[in-house]
Structure 1
Amino acid sequence: MGDRPMHKEPAEWVDPSFWLPSKVPVSFLQELEKDGAPPSELLLDAYRGMVLGRRFDQQATALARQGRLAVYPSSLGQEACQVGAALALRATDWLFPTYRDCVALVSRGIDPVETLTLLRGDAHCGYDPTRHRTAPQCTPLATHAAHAVGLAHGERLKGKDTVALALVGDGATSEGDFHEAVNLAGVLRAPVVFLIQNNRYAISVPLSAQSAAPGLAYKGIGYGVRAEQVDGNDAAAVLSVLTAAVEDARAGGGPRLIEAHTYRVGPHTSADDPSRYRTAAEEEHWRARDPLVRLEAALRERGLLTDADVAAAAEEAEAYATRLRERLAADPEADPAALLDHVFATPTPQLLAQRDALHIELERR
């Protein structure tokens, strides 16, 4: 070893229970008064965000059926995870979304048309990632997880307290990229949080055919990453667990792996027929655990939400959907020259020649 100092681990790391998730998913809606529950103001923000997010999701689904979008992967039933992820982050933190996380994007304040640009087929990303501190949506499973680790580690090297939150599905945990990312996060003690939205299916493949582990959260211990599991249809629990994980990572506590138990109520995408691989009884079971209905009931029961509040949230969401529908009804104005933008930071002579030739051709028309 020479003069190299020994790396001493905290004493609690020796105890395996330090790394393991709770035996049952964390839940709060039945006991909003217990320690760790989010404040009422945050729960009301989550409710409004979930109402708007669901209406956005419904409108986007309809636009895909009308041919205004090439495809749309609905997150109906996963609103607590989507909105909770956005609310758990500071404006200076980074979000790393997948193709199914459009509701998380609009919850982060990204323009809905820019959010749907990828799915409309107009560009690889419709929003400015740097401005919104949100990476482009990732279609290949789990490839963005390592990017989240790298960014979080890099920000820490710069002396910043930035946290990265990577959204992944249960199918992504079967990919090598996911395991490499979690392993790297553990080694670097990077300030990154992985949120697994376990919606039970990777397209048509059920969780039971993907993993023999007692739960996806248990995968964290193999990489020295603390883990937790939460009722993903309990908005209060999602907010509590994610906020604690984000702030602990920010304070130097290392990465976290959170498994949120939820359900994809709709099809995998607008081109899918889920009746071919799951039963109506299963769907009804999960519809009865609707995260929006459960949060509304809990808030009403405690006198935090009135009929007027519910009506106002619905009216705001409907106006939001109307504006989105009107804007996407117009055909996009495409600039052919934009094909040559963002190819190189400094355009090559060949690229400039192609641009000149394109302009000449356009002027002839």
Structure 2
Amino acid sequence: MIMHQLITADGNRVADGLLDGFVSDIDDETLRNLYEDMVVIRRIDAEATALQRQGQLALWPPLLGQEAAQIGSVRALDDDDFIFPTYRENGVAYCRGAKMSDVLGVWRGTWNTGWDPYEVNMATPQIIIGSQTLHATGYGMGLVLEGKETLAIAYLGDGATSQGDVHESMVFAATFQAPVIFFCQNNQWAISEPVGLQSHVPLAGRAAGYGMPGLQVDGNDVLAVLAAVRWAADRARTGSGPSFIEAVTYRMGAHTTADDPTRYRGVTELEEWGAKDPITRMRTFLRNSGRLDGAAESAIAAKADAVAAELRQACINLPDPDPMSVFENVYVDGNPILELQRKHYGAYLSALGEQPVGSATAQGGAS
């Protein structure tokens, strides 16, 4: 299978018969913006990792090394396309306009979800591996029934391709020609299990068995990822159904901050992929082509620092939640079992000398 590429690891622009036409409109400013996005989300990731190490976050799923896959894909979408992410697409959330406090709340434990999905057209982080593909397919089938020209995109990792939910999603999407993009970030590791153990063929090669095209793209090449998702989006919008994209990238950090990747992968592997770093290659390409100078780099670095400072401040200032708020937004309508649990928990807090906040929740009323 051909891995499509537009910018090589050493920063050279190359031609690709399929992808070139989908980025013919990309100007110098857009290229710099793609680079800026990657620099900013890497800085966000580093700051959030530091906050977790300092005890300010309970957990954080690093995206280090996957910046091109996230930025290239989200910048290829229209604002009204709906995104169904995993727990690692915090760079996508940033580009969609999610507030830093909303991004961090779930990881600090101050709220049980993230941003408002309808404000940014992006579902909240999905922890259950692969289940977001079901949601995306259902949403896409709804778009067909309503005659809309928007699409759904489901982000998933290589490990998720071993889950039954993902297979069922792709069968339904292909059967009903749903406008869905299955965007797989193959970062080589499903926690501690290498992708070669899960599949002896390229993941994109599996797509044909479901009745949809599969495309393998260099996931560390932001321009190629942008073009690949535009290709899939064009198919979705014109009634040609779903597509599967395998963005070949690498998780340079831990699976989460609770993980120690040195226990299952060697130093040489990290060095090999470090030479393919998505930000370094884009910087080299922009410098060599005269599209990026020192002043522009300094401005981008300053913006990244400002966003990181905003993130830190937002995290530290997140208020502790009302303990009774755990019962809110569980069901649309009242549920007697939930109300009984609410009553018992309120009594427990009272026994500890903690008065539940809010008259409705304190009295066990409906949320």
Same fold by TM-score greater than 0.5: yes
Shift of 1:352: 7.0
Cα offset for 1:331? 5.1
1:320 aligns with 2:298: no
Q: 1:209 to 1:357 in 2, by over 3 A?
A: closer
Superimposed CA distance per residue, residues 110-148 of structure 1 (whole angstroms, 9 cap, x where no aligned partner): 112211222222223121012211112111111110110
1:171 aligns with 2:159: yes
In 2, Cα distance between equivalents of 1:264 and 1:356: 44
Counterpart CA distance in 2 for 1:362 and 1:279 is 51
State the percentage of identical aligned residues: 41
Kept after mapping to 1: 8 A contact 2:155/2:185: yes
Structure 2: how far apart are the matches of 1:184 and 1:290?
36
* CA spacing shift, 1:304–1:348, aligned 2, 3 Å: same
Partner of 1:205: 193
CA positional deviation for 1:325: 0.9
**Structure 1 unmatched ranges of 5 or more:** 1-22
- Does 1:283 find its partner at 2:283? no
For the residues of structure 1 that align with 2:113 and 2:336, how far apart are their CA atoms?
26
| Residue in structure 2 matched with residue 300 of structure 1 by the alignment | 287
Q: CA RMSD in A?
A: 2.3
Q: 3-state DSSP class of the match of 1:322?
A: helix
Query: Letter of the aligned partner of 1:216 in structure 2?
Result: L
Are the aligned partners of 2:183 and 2:245 in contact in 1 as well (CA < 8 Å)? yes
Give the distance between the partners of 1:190 and 1:275, measured in 2 at CA. Answer: 41
1:209 CA drift (Å): 1.2
Moved over 4 A (4+): 348-361
How does the TM-score come out when normalised to structure 1? 0.88
1:150 aligns with 2:132: no
Q: Which of 235, 238, 244 is equivalent to 2:225? A: 238
The answer for the alignment partner of 1:70 in structure 2 is 58
Show the counterpart of 2:3: 25
Conserved? CA contact 1:173–1:179, under 8 Å: yes
Please list the CA deviations of residues 271-326 of structure 1 after superposition, one character each: whole Å capped at 9, or x if unmatched: 11111111111101101110011011111222222211111111001011011112
Other-structure match for 1:253:
240
Q: Does 1:138 align with 2:152?
A: no
Residue of 17, 36, 55 corresponding to 2:21: 36
Q: Which residue of 2 aligns with 1:86?
A: 74
The amino acid across from 2:5 in the alignment is: S
Verify the 8 A CA contact 1:217 1:227 in the aligned structure 2: yes
Q: Secondary structure of the residue that 1:88 maps to in structure 2?
A: coil
Deviations 1:177-199 (CA, angstroms, capped at 9, x unpaired): 11111111110110000111011
Q: Which amino acid aligns with 2:189?
A: Y
2:270 alignment partner AA: E
SS in 1 for 2:184: strand
Letter in 1 for 2:240: G
Deviation at 1:344, TM superposition (A): 2.9
Alignment partner of 1:223 out of 199, 210, 229: 210
* Residue equivalent to 1:116: 104
Structure 2 CA distance, aligned partners of 1:309 and 1:195? Answer: 31
> What's the CA shift for 1:46?
1.2
1:335 aligns to 2:315 (yes or no):
no
One-letter identity of the residue aligned with 1:114: D
TM-score by length of 2: 0.87
In 2, distance between residues paired with 1:351 and 1:47? 48
- From 255, 269, 272, the counterpart of 2:259: 272
1:330/1:182 CA distance change after superposition, 3 Å = same
- What's the offset of the Cα at 1:36? 2.5
- CA distance in structure 2 between the partners assigned to 1:355 and 1:341 by the alignment: 13
Shift of 1:338: 2.2
Show CA shifts across 1:308-360 (max 9, x none): 11111110010110111122123523223423321332335786785799599
Judge which range, 332-341 or 141-150, deviates more.
332-341
**Mean CA deviation greater in 296-305 or 30-39:** 30-39
Q: Which segment drifts farther, 216-225 or 125-134? A: 125-134
Residues 357/33 of structure 1: CA separation in 2 closer, same or farther (3 Å cut): closer
1:75-121 C-alpha deviation (Å, 9 max, x unpaired): 10000011112111111011111111111111211112211222222
Q: Secondary structure at the match of 1:36?
A: helix
- Number of positions where the alignment pairs a residue of Structure 1 with one of Structure 2: 342
Distance 1:356 1:196 in 2: 44
Matched-pair contact (CA < 8 Å) for 1:37–1:236: no
Q: Match for 2:184 among 176, 196, 213?
A: 196
Question: Which residue in 1 is equivalent to 2:331?
Answer: 344
Q: Which amino acid aligns with 1:320?
A: V
Find the counterpart in structure 2 of residue 12 from structure 1: none
In the alignment, which of 95, 118, 123 is matched to residue 83 of structure 2? 95
CA contact (8 A) 1:340 1:355 kept: no
Matched with 2:365 is none
